[in-house]
Structures are given as structure tokens and as C-alpha cells.
Amino acid sequence: MKTKNILLAVILLINSSLFAQNVVTKNEVTSQKIGKETLYKNKDGKKLEGYYKISDRRGNFIDVHFKKGKKVGKQIDYDYKERKLSEKFFKNGKLHGNYVRYYQNGKNKLTRRIYRRK
């Protein structure tokens, strides 16, 4: 019985750390442009790594994933009422794939495909 409880605790701990999200304000994140690349760092100067929820002073926020300071995967922009405004897809820090904007009622407003070469 003890081993089952310990195993369950370890699984929950691993699961929560994998899907943990850092919540920060826009003021706590800096961007540094190097050539065509943009690197994102925290206030200590370390490159962002993992999932972040970044909010501005009006309450709007984005959900985004960083790897070595670059945006990767899906970024979702929300307004202060948590209505989805847009979805963007990034590959190695660059906009790549579908870009979708939404009306305030949640209906699809605009879809573009953006594919960039390396």
C-alpha cells in the first residue's frame, strides 16, 4: 500500500511539473533582437524555458511556450475577459503555420498560412 501511495505521489509531482505554467507580467520579460531572431529573457537575464502566461497592465494575456528563449508551438492571445483573440504558431522563434484571428463572439475572422524557410 505504501509503495502505491509513493508511486502515485511521484506521478502527480512529475505531471504537475511538466504542465506547470509560469505567470508573469509583460514588464518581467525582455526581448532581445539578434539579427532576424528574437530571444526572450526574464528579469534575471536567463532565457525563458517552458510554458508562460504573460499579461499586460490592462489584463490581456498570452499563453506561449518557449524553448531556449525562442517561441515554439502555439501562442494564444486573450483579452481581459479571457476571450480568444488569435492563435499563432511558431517554429524556432519564427511565425510558421496558421495564423487565426477571432471575433469577440469566438467565430473565426481570418486565417492565414505563413511558412518560412530556414
C-alpha cell at 14: 512529475
What pLDDT sits at residue 98?
85
Answer whether 0.85 is exceeded by the pTM: no
Name the residue among 34, 97, 4 with its Cα closest to residue 87.
97
What pLDDT sits at residue 15?
46
What pLDDT sits at residue 17?
44
What pLDDT sits at residue 36?
82
Which DSSP string corresponds to 41-81?
EETTSPBP-EEEEEE-TTS-EEEEEEETTEEEEEEEEE-TT
Strand partners, 108: 102
Q: Residues in the chain with pLDDT < 70?
A: 1-2, 4-20, 106, 110, 115-118
Strand partners, 32: 39
Distance separating alpha carbons of residues 24 and 70, to the nearest angstrom: 17
